[in-house]
Structure 1
Amino acid sequence: MRRCFQIFMLFVLAIFTSNCKDAKQEQKQPEAEATKPMEQASISKSEFGTTPEGELVEQYTLKNANGMEIDVITFGGIITNLKVPNKDGKFEDVVLGYDTLEPYLTNPTFFGALIGRYGNRIAKGKFTLNGRDYTLATNDGSNHLHGGKKGFDKVVWTAEPIENGNSVALKLTYLSKDMEEGYPGNLTSTVVYTLTPDNALEITYEATTDKPTIVNLTQHAYFNLSGDFSKTILDEDVMIAADRYVPIDETSIPFGPLAEVKGTPFDFTSPKPVGQDISAEDIQIKNGTGYDHCWVLNNQDKGFRLAATVYDKTSGRFMEVLTDEPGIQFYTGNFLDGTLPSQQGGTYAQRTGLCLETQHYPDSPNQEDYPSTVLNPGETYQSATTYKFSTK
């Protein structure tokens, strides 16, 4: 009898010990989960190539805690990749570009580049400032385009990575010397790309000069929110918060007074597919070979505000463009012709990317009624634009 009782007590003790052990493991499990490390924003550097002049070109990769990622090279401050999630959480590149440095050395399309000193066109490459005539390099027929033959898109910028809590940033600086491409004054420009925790790319611009000059900086990324560069952007819905736009002549120089968008193919005040009116019988569509015009943004007295949106219905990606600039150049990749190599294989066909370049109006130095682009010594040029991504 005693022997049976001892066996029974040993059995009870074994069960009690096992239950205690399980209870301790259950108590420890939440503690292990609580100490699981969170993903953090990061920035890293690698070599991207060397220019023909022997200058090293570096690539910086900025990544936020959500997994959104942007690659920027010091040559031209070019955004080579921008990976954002679709509605299913799949990350894909949404900007057109190249895998190697060589095609960026010519980059006739200005893929992903910083543009300066003057974004857009200046008629016949000439302007007058304080009674003095200046002649700029002409690289778009008889006109000056995007800073000239060697604008800010074709120089190596000095880079400084910045880590600030949940955000990561890259500060780029370039000194454009007096009379470079015909512009007066030594101009020091600083551009900061910041990747935020809420999947926004913030771009801030600053510049100072030692002589009166003109400045109009912008960013020339080509977006295709589908993430598939074999598809056109014609089905993507675009909204532009502008009641007027800048009409152009056959050389893309402003022509006549600012025009109302209402009742024309240029009305994007409500979202509509890019391709809805892009082939309309309209002289302005003909002059731009599609959309390649500057829209006059509303509420210019409000400062930083919503300027445009893009929505890709298939991927669910939604992009908002916010800026303090008075205008935005909407370009639909009209001159992509299937000769440039795509990162995804094949080539970039016509209208496989769209640009929304925040800026002052084209040819402003020669248009008295346009907002001024003059920068004087002692002043600081400042501008800000944000591209914010989400899904719906």
Structure 2
Amino acid sequence: MTAEVLSLGARLQALHAPDRDGRRANVVLGGGSVEDLLGDAAYLGATVGRYANRIADGVLPLEGTTYRLATQPTGHTLHGGPDGFATRLWDGVPVREDRQVGVRLRLRSPAGDQGFPGTVTAEVTYLLDPDGGLSITYQAVTDAPTVVNLTNHAYFNLAGEGRGTVLDHLLHVDAAGYLPVDGNLIPLGPVEPVAGTPFDLRHARRIGTCITGEHPQILAAGRGFDHNWVLDGTGLRRAALLSHPASGRHVECLTTEPGLQVYTGNHFDGSLISPSGRRYTKHAGIALETQHFPDSPNRPDYPSTLLRPGEKYRSRTVYRFSAE
């Protein structure tokens, strides 16, 4: 396996993995130009923050003070705001740990950045091991109370980027609950059981079968998934398994995070052209975003994303690839 990481957005731009016959292909979607990466492809493979996913109405209540955050045209804050971490140039250095090689990238986000309090120094480390694993480790510190929720926004297509859709992929998610959303993709509140819904992925199911029905939550997300699954267990454990029967490729996602946002690329419309010259159409890739829950600062019943001075934010996700 080989990986390509860009300092723009600390992003995973390419990841080449072999199929069952040993033929390698890039299995993550990428932008074809810097202009794309600062525009329609801004989140492809990027490290998003300070707060991955949505904060309703850009309102951040924190220890008695309400902060107004920068918002997107929807009126909500998504992935840290319109000028979040995905648009920044990170400082990177090569690293080697045991048999693993990779890169460590760092970014300083000043107090008031996109409306967030506190100066945050964030760090992300990508390490590739010879056994087919890519680990992504996040750390962050702050000089004032704030919220931090980082993730990677890679879109996977195990057939190869730009080679059709992920509707023929099989997806398993280790979660008995998920968060239904409103029309703006803001969680409605309590965790709901997946049993009896298209969100029950406790056994592997074909993605196309799950998202082609008339379930109101599938329609709310633009005929697809764009929801947070509440993962079973704690610590570093399996969150999901994505498989492509035709190529034999599998990727197992492990994480320390409590949630997994599954997004089936519902917005791709063919206008974005990949580095290989192919167009990304609807469902061209699937994102498996390990993270805390959307809108947690406004939901005291969700796991907290509060980070205080003297504390260190830590998160780890591993993608293990295999072929059979």
Q: Same fold (TM over 0.5)?
A: yes
1:343 maps to which residue?
A: 275
Matched, 1:334 2:257: no
Query: Distance between the aligned counterparts of 2:40 and 2:314, measured in 1?
Result: 27
Query: Distance between the aligned counterparts of 1:152 and 1:109, measured in 2?
Result: 10
1:248 maps to which residue?
A: 181
CA contact (8 A) 2:28 2:161 kept: no
Q: In the alignment, which of 311, 314, 339 is matched to residue 243 of structure 2?
A: 311
* Count of residue pairs the alignment pairs up: 323
CA contact (8 A) 1:230 1:349 kept: no
Q: In the alignment, which of 55, 61, 80 is matched to residue 128 of structure 1?
A: 61
User: What secondary structure, in the 3-state scheme, does the structure 1 residue paired with 2:265 have?
Assistant: coil
User: What secondary structure, in the 3-state scheme, does the structure 2 residue paired with 1:190 have?
Assistant: strand
Query: Distance between the aligned counterparts of 2:292 and 2:192, measured in 1?
Result: 16
CA contact (8 A) 1:325 1:358 kept: yes
Matched, 1:381 2:307: no
Query: Distance between the aligned counterparts of 1:245 and 1:317, measured in 2?
Result: 27
Query: Distance between the aligned counterparts of 2:152 and 2:166, measured in 1?
Result: 19
Q: CA deviation at 1:264?
A: 0.4
What letter is aligned with 1:103? D
Q: CA deviation at 1:218?
A: 0.2
Greater length-normalized contact order (CA 8 Å, ≥ 6 residues apart): 2
CA contact (8 A) 1:110 1:220 kept: yes
Matched, 1:297 2:231: yes
Q: CA deviation at 1:108?
A: 4.8
Matched, 1:178 2:111: yes
1:9 maps to which residue?
A: none
Residues 36-115 of structure 1: pairs in structure 2 closer than 5 A: 68-108=1-41, 110-115=43-48
Structure with max Cα Rg: 1
Residues 249-268 of structure 1: pairs in structure 2 closer than 5 A: 249-268=182-201
Q: CA deviation at 1:98?
A: 2.3
User: What secondary structure, in the 3-state scheme, does the structure 1 residue paired with 2:303 have?
Assistant: coil
Please give the root-mean-square deviation of Cα atoms over the aligned residues, in Å: 1.1
Deviates further, 228-237 or 81-90: 228-237
Query: Distance between the aligned counterparts of 1:241 and 1:234, measured in 2?
Result: 20
What letter is aligned with 2:85? F
Residues 159-174 of structure 1: pairs in structure 2 closer than 5 A: 159-174=92-107
Matched, 1:281 2:214: yes
Query: Distance between the aligned counterparts of 1:170 and 1:381, measured in 2?
Result: 19
1:58 maps to which residue?
A: none
Higher helix share: 1
CA contact (8 A) 2:141 2:310 kept: yes
Q: CA deviation at 1:175?
A: 0.3
What letter is aligned with 2:6? I
2:81 maps to which residue?
A: 148
Residue by residue over 1:223-277, the C-alpha shift from the partner in whole angstroms, topping out at 9 and shown as x without a partner, is: 0001152311001000000000011000000113211000001110000111112
Query: Distance between the aligned counterparts of 1:355 and 1:329, measured in 2?
Result: 8
What letter is aligned with 1:295? W
What is the TM-score when the length of structure 2 is the normalising length?
A: 0.98
Q: CA deviation at 1:163?
A: 2.5
What is the TM-score when the length of structure 1 is the normalising length?
A: 0.81
Q: CA deviation at 1:127?
A: 1.6
Higher strand share: 2
User: What secondary structure, in the 3-state scheme, does the structure 1 residue paired with 2:156 have?
Assistant: coil
Query: Distance between the aligned counterparts of 2:319 and 2:107, measured in 1?
Result: 23
Matched, 1:216 2:114: no
Q: CA deviation at 1:390?
A: 0.4
Percent identity between matched residues is: 46
Residues 361-380 of structure 1: pairs in structure 2 closer than 5 A: 361-380=293-312
User: What secondary structure, in the 3-state scheme, does the structure 1 residue paired with 2:319 have?
Assistant: strand
Residues 2-41 of structure 1: pairs in structure 2 closer than 5 A: none
Which ranges in structure 1 are unaligned for 5 or more consecutive residues?
1-67
Query: Distance between the aligned counterparts of 1:282 and 1:364, measured in 2?
Result: 25
User: What secondary structure, in the 3-state scheme, does the structure 2 residue paired with 1:351 have?
Assistant: coil
Residues 186-225 of structure 1: pairs in structure 2 closer than 5 A: 186-225=119-158
Query: Distance between the aligned counterparts of 1:109 and 1:149, measured in 2?
Result: 10
User: What secondary structure, in the 3-state scheme, does the structure 1 residue paired with 2:123 have?
Assistant: strand
What letter is aligned with 2:9? G
Query: Distance between the aligned counterparts of 2:171 and 2:55, measured in 1?
Result: 27
